[in-house]
Amino acid sequence: MSFETLVTSSLPILSLITFLPLIGALVILIVDQTKVKTIQKIGLAFSGSALLVSAIALIYFDPSRQFQFVEDYAWIPALSVRYLMGADGLSMPFVVLTTLLTFVSLIASLSIENRVKEYWFWFLLLETGMLGVFESLDFFLFYVFWEITLVPMYFLIGVWGGPKKEYAATKFFLYTLFGSVFMLLSIIGLYFASTPHTLNMLELTAQRNELLKMGMTFQVLVFLGFYLAFAIKVPLFPFHTWLPLAHVEAPTAVSVILAGVLLKMGGYGLMRVNLPMFPEATKLFIFPLVVISFINIVYGALCALAQKDMKRMVAYSSVNHMGYVGLGLASLTATGFNGAVFQMVNHGIITGSLFLLVGVIYDRAHTRDIDAFGGLGAKTPMFAGIMTLACMASLGLPGLAGFVSEFLCFLGAFGPWKIWTGLSVAGILVTAGFFLRMIQKVFLGPLNEKWAGLTDMNAREYAAVLPLAALTVILGVYPRWGLDLMNDTLTALAAFVKSGV
C-alpha cells in the first residue's frame, strides 16, 4: 500500500488531525502540574503532530475534487446522527490555518507561568473544537464542536486575561451562546423539515428545494437563526462589541486564536450553511448583508482610528477586515468568494502576527498606549521592521498577503454592488490612516527616553512571529498557492448559490 492511499483512504486522517490535540490534552492531565517543561513539550508535540498531519493532508488534497478524506459512521442511529467528516476547498484552508496558528500560539504561550497545566489543557481542547467545526458535515457533530470551542475560550480569557478578565470572559461566553442557541433551534427545524429526517449538511444542501416547500417564514427564521450565530462570530455589525473587549483582556496567544481562527468559523458557516442552503432567504438578505459589510468596513476602520490602545485598534481593524469578507460573500460571485476565503486566511496570518507583536511590546513596557511610546524604530529595529511589515500587509500593500484577497473581495462585489463597493473603498484609506498613525507614534520621531532600556525581540518571539511574517510575504508574492486550493470548490459553490437566487 502506497503512502498516498494510506493518507487519502485508509487512515482516518481528519479524525487524526482533530483528536491529536485532545489526546495531548488528556495526557497533560496526568502529568504533575509542577513539571512545566514536560507539559509544554507534550503540548507542542501533539499540536505539532496535528500541524504535520494537516500538512501531509494538504499535500495529498486534490483541489479539483469534492469532499475528500471522508469518514462516515453511524453515531446515534435513532436520530440518524452520523459521524461524518470531510474536507473540500472551503474547509481545507481553515484546517491548515488552525493547526498552524495554534502551534504558533503555543510557542508564544511558553511565557505563561501561571497554572500552566490547565492553560495547556484548555488550549489543546480548543484546537480540537475548532478543527472539528471546519471538518464536520453533520449538524449534530458540527454543533458539538462549535460549543466545545466556547468552554476553553471562556477559561483562557477568564483565568489568564487582563484586569477585567471575568467580565470579558462572561460577556464572550454569553454573547456567543446566545447566538448558538438560535442555531440549535434552526438545526432542529431543519431536522424536522427534511424527509427522511437528517442532519447531514450535504444532504440538506442538496434538498434545498424541498426545504423551500416549508414556506418563506421557515426559510427566513432558519436563515436568521444560523445568521445570528455566525454573524456574532464574524463579527458583523452590530454584534461586534464583544470583540474589542475580549481581545483587550485575552492573553496574547488567545487573541491570536480568537482573531485568527474563531472569527473564521462565522464566515465559514455563512458559506457552508446560509448561502447554499436557503436560496430564497439569501435573495432577501443579500442587500442588508452588503450594507452591513459596508458599515463593518468604514465604521470599523473609523473606530480603530479613534483607539489609544494598540490591541483595541487591531481588534477594530478585524471588524474592518471582516467587512471585506462580508462584501466578498455578498457578491455571490466566484471572484468574491475567492476573495472572502483568502481574506479570512490572510487575516488570520496577518492579524495573528499583529497580536503577537503587540504582545511583544506589552510584555516589555506593560502598556499598550499608542501615545506612550515614540522613536522606538532606532531602539528596536527588528521589532519595528516586522511590525511595519505586518501593518503594511494589513492595510493591503501589494506583495504582501492582504492585497490580492482584499482586491478580489472588492472586485467581486463591484459587479453587482457598484455604489456600495465604491463607498466601502474609503475604508482602505482610513485603514492606512490608523496603521500609519500607530507606526509614526510608536516607532518614529525622537526616542522617548523612558524606553531607552527596551530590548529587541527574543528567540521565542522570533520563533512565533517569523513563520507568519514569511507566510505573509509568500502568499503575497505567490497567491496562487492559496487560491488554487480553494478556487474549484468556490467556483462550484458560487454557481450553486447563484442558481438558487
Binding site for other proteins (CB under 8 A): 171, 174-175, 238, 241-242, 245, 299, 302-303, 305-307, 333-335, 338-339, 375, 377-378, 392, 397-399, 403-404, 407-408, 410-411, 414-415, 421-422, 425-426, 428-430, 432-433, 436-437, 440, 443-447, 478-480, 483-484, 487, 491, 494
Q: Which residues of 107-121 are buried (b: 16+ CB within 10 A; e: fewer)?
A: bbbbebeeebbbbbb
CB of 349 to other proteins, least distance (A): 17
Q: What is the DSSP letter of 112?
A: -
Q: Nearer Cβ to other proteins, position 123 or 443?
A: 443
CB of 444 to other proteins, least distance (A): 4
Q: Nearer Cβ to other proteins, position 21 or 427?
A: 427
Q: Nearer Cβ to other proteins, position 357 or 392?
A: 392
CB of 101 to other proteins, least distance (A): 23
208 backbone dihedrals φ, ψ, rounded to 5°: -60, -30
Q: Nearer Cβ to other proteins, position 278 or 403?
A: 403
260: nearest Cα among 228, 233, 236: 233
CB of 233 to other proteins, least distance (A): 15
Q: Nearer Cβ to other proteins, position 231 or 392?
A: 392
CB of 26 to other proteins, least distance (A): 35
Strand partners, 83: 73
Q: Nearer Cβ to other proteins, position 133 or 232?
A: 232
CA distance 236 to 266: 9
Cα dist from 125 to 76, 122, 345, whole Å: 23, 5, 22
Q: Nearer Cβ to other proteins, position 23 or 428?
A: 428
CA distance 254 to 368: 17
Q: Nearer Cβ to other proteins, position 132 or 375?
A: 375
CA distance 153 to 132: 15
Specify the residue for cell string 500609519. 436
CB of 162 to other proteins, least distance (A): 17
Q: Nearer Cβ to other proteins, position 174 or 206?
A: 174
CB of 53 to other proteins, least distance (A): 27
CB of 415 to other proteins, least distance (A): 5
Phi-psi region of 362 (alpha: psi -120 to 50; beta: other; left: phi over 0): alpha
Q: Are 408 and 338 in contact (CB under 8 A)?
A: yes
Q: Nearer Cβ to other proteins, position 136 or 333?
A: 333
Beta strands in 51-193 (DSSP E): 68-76, 81-87
CB of 122 to other proteins, least distance (A): 25
CA distance 151 to 293: 29
C-alpha cell at 259: 482573531
Q: What is the DSSP letter of 114?
A: S
C-alpha cell at 471: 507566510
- 3-state SS track over 155-224: HHHHHHCCCCHHHHHHHHHHHHHHHHHHHHHHHHHHHHHCCCCCCEHHHHHHCHHHHHCCCHHHHHHHHH
The sign of the dihedral angle between the CA atoms of 143, 146, 150, 156 is positive
CB of 408 to other proteins, least distance (A): 6
Q: Nearer Cβ to other proteins, position 351 or 421?
A: 421
CA distance 53 to 15: 10
CB of 397 to other proteins, least distance (A): 6
